[in-house]
Each structure stands twice: as structure tokens, then as C-alpha cells.
Amino acid sequence: MRTNSLLDPQLSSLFEGAPNPAFTLAALPMLRKAMAGTPIAREDLHVAEHYLDREDGTALRIVVIRQRSITGPAPVVLHCHPGGWILGTPETSTSTLVDIARNLPCVLISVDYRLAPEHPYPAAHDDVMAALQWIRLHAKAHDFDDRRIMLVGESAGANIVAGIALRCRDEEIDDGIVGLSMVYSPLDDRTTSRPVHPFAGSIGLGAEHIRFAWASYLGNLPSDNVSSYASPGRAVGLRGLPPVFLATGAIDPVIDENLEFAQRLIRDGVSTNLHVFAGAPHGFDRAEDAQVTVQLRKLRREHLGRCLAL
């Protein structure tokens, strides 16, 4: 069902009449080019790239961003970009990264994780885990406060954030993670076999896009042999996770799984900050000047500030 009447008017110029190509293997090169993003460099920010060696001889790129005025150890925001596990780079999230970096005295580290379907789960998960370990190993050399680490992500990046937090909890890793921020998160692959939401997913990203993304990330759909680190909605319990910020649009196809995840977090005693934005589809924060985006960013910064004790 078309939901144009529900769309926030401030988002109409971004979504109404915009191209909405299907996700296919043939389209991936074009889609990746379109979602490559813009340079992060700003005069008031120090931006550096580091390359972490993988066991297969390739290198993982991470982008480190901080205010030039920051001195001494600073808390860390470890960021995972959106893109359905199949698209995107840290530069896809330039606007988000710059907003956080300019407003909070922290270090941002965004991970250029490997993409599916060429690199299905656990490649992206392992890359982000490697970045987390790098932070701990190099905290002194780079002035990181490794006892104050936030995990932040949007869309597929938010899924990875949840999976990393679950793994660290289960393996009792002394990780320094003090909170999570997850925006419009695909959290449960099983939703791909449920009836399509009547008022979500007809504008922008839809059910077929999400199904293709999940199949690319997991290698096949449906399957009962899926790790909760890949599909956090499958986790038996969520108790023991750090405080969570969850945000999604009311006409986003992932709305139901976000509401279900929030309810489970609350029932398991996890401090949960849930926000649903009326009239907002998936990826609504690309409309930088829209009031819903301004509000989202303010609420996210407040959550980061509380968790990082800033």
C-alpha cells in the first residue's frame, strides 16, 4: 500500500519521485558508486586513515576523526556505516560523523568493513571486532579512553553493532563498551518470511530490498542455522547489554522488529531509549535539514553524552 499521505512533508523532496532501483547483483557496482559518499575532511577536524592487517593478507581501513582542539585521552565512538551489508563506506556517513565529531569531545572511528555478497557473515562482524581490539591495543599511543567506548551504527551498521555487543557479553570480553546507538536496524532475518507491513516499505527501501540484503549477508534464506551475532533478534536473551538508543521511522519496513527488540530489551532489564519518527521511511536522515533529522541527531548526541559521561 502506498503511504505518501503518511510521509513527512519535509522528506517529500528526498523520497517522492526519486529513483528506487532494485537490489540485484548486476546493479551492485552502480549502487556502490552512488553510495560511496563524500570526503570527511573538515578544517576543524583531524581525519586520519589506518590500515589493520587481516590474516588473509588484505588490509582493513578505519577512519579516525577528532576535533583538533581535543587534548588527552578521549572516549571513542566506534561507528558502522549503513548500506544493507552490500553497500557503503565510512564516507557514506560523512554528515553523521561530522555532526558527532563537532558536537562531542570524542574520537570517532568508522570501519570500512567488507561487503556482501562477496564477503558474507562473519566478514563484516569480524572486521568491526578487529577494530574494537585495535582500539584497546593502541589506546595509549592514540590517546583513546578505552574504558568509554560507544558502538554506533545505522541500518546494517546498527545490526553489526548489536551483534558485537552480544558477542562481547557472551565471551565476557572486557571491552569498555558503555552504550549502543542503533538507527533503523534490520535485526531479525526471519522477518523476511512474514507478511509485508501494510504501511511501511512502499517509499524508499522496501521488503524486497531487505530480503536481498539479508540473503547476501547470510548466504541463503531462509535458514534455521543463523547466529544471533548476525541476526540479533534471534538472541535467546538480551540481559547484560549496555544502555541502548533505538530509533526508526514509523513507515520503515524494519519498524516491527525494532519495536519487538525494544520490548525485549526492556523486559530483560536493559536501559532502553526508543524513538519512532512519524512519517519517516528508511534512511530519512539523509534529509539533513528536515526536523526529524535534527531531532534524531540531538537525541543521539544526548544519549552518547550520557553514556560517555561527557
Tell me which residues are annotated as active site.
155, 252, 282
**Residues whose CB falls within 8 Å of the CB of residue 17, separated by 6 or more in sequence, listed in order:** none
| Residue listed under C-alpha cell 578505552 | 146
Alpha helices (runs of H) in 175-290, residue ranges in sequence order: 207-218, 255-267
Residue 305's alpha-carbon distances to 44, 225, 287, in angstroms, are: 20, 38, 24
Angstrom distance (rounded) from CA 303 to CA 271: 11
User: Does an H or E element contain 245, and which?
Assistant: strand 244-249
Angstrom distance (rounded) from CA 159 to CA 186: 6
Alpha helices (runs of H) in the chain, residue ranges in sequence order: 12-15, 28-34, 94-103, 123-137, 139-142, 156-170, 207-218, 255-267, 291-307
Angle, to 10 degrees, between the axis of helix 94-103 and the axis of helix 291-307?
Answer: 50
Angstrom distance (rounded) from CA 25 to CA 14: 25
